[in-house]
Amino acid sequence: MIPDKSSLERISATAVVESNLEWILGDDLELVRQRIQQACRSAYPLLDDLIAAHLHTHYPRAIIVLGTSRLGHTERSQRVALAAAIELLHLAMNVHDAIPRGEVERSERNRLLLGAAILVGDFCFSQASRLAAETESPAVVTAFADALARLSEQRVRHLLEAPQEAHRDDAVLYVAAAEAAALLVGLPRPIRYALREAAAAFGEVLTDSETALAEAIARLDALLSDRPVARPLMNWLRSRRPV
């Protein structure tokens, strides 16, 4: 239902801002985009073209990193580097998804395609790790390494057990975004765990519990009730779906 004019007039300017996290994060998101493009740039046009074919224009994992970072204090360069690192990790997995599944005809073209997907994906992994290290936080780097290990283990298990089925890494990546950002700004453990739970539910593949997204957000909301700065993130999680 479209609200009438009188209803719209009763909506405060603050409420409008709080419902638009992406607008609040606009400058940081632009810097994230620039860092991703810089990290993906090489001396080889073919490599650049292969990576560009998998780049996205929307960065939900970066939004979770940046939105979580607003709950504490950190240098802009650190949170931007972390957000770009998580998105590059997602990019690397997407590139590896281009690897042919099942039985593939042995040909020079397929051999080159397989090799390119592996090498380009690994290049993105290395650039993501470099960006994560720029946070200069051992805890963040450890969380990033743990996420990479979980992604790799899941991929190997999927390859061995169900190679023909589609595989999604949403839960691991969204949890990594929330966990690493919470560590970066030093959030208390209860809030950090609640953020992990909400991020996992947001990714639609629950990891630590079977809590529904609404319940996870409600629990997080209760913990953050004394932090008005958290409202845009809560509203974004309620109104968006992973991409």
Residue type, 118: I
Distances (CA, A) of 236 to 31, 37, 202, 223, 230: 20, 25, 11, 17, 10
pLDDT of residue 156: 77
DSSP 102: S
pLDDT of residue 103: 55
DSSP reduced 3-state for 199: helix
Structure tokens at 62: 């970066």
pLDDT of residue 2: 40
pLDDT of residue 154: 81
pLDDT of residue 171: 84
Distances (CA, A) of 2 to 6, 11, 173: 12, 14, 35
pLDDT averaged per 10 residues, the chain (length 243): 40 47 93 92 75 80 95 95 95 72 57 64 87 96 93 78 68 93 96 92 60 82 90 85 55
* Residues 242 and 204 sit within 8 Å (Cβ to Cβ): yes
Which domains are delineated in the chain? 17-239 (1.10.600.10)
pLDDT of residue 121: 73
pLDDT of residue 18: 46
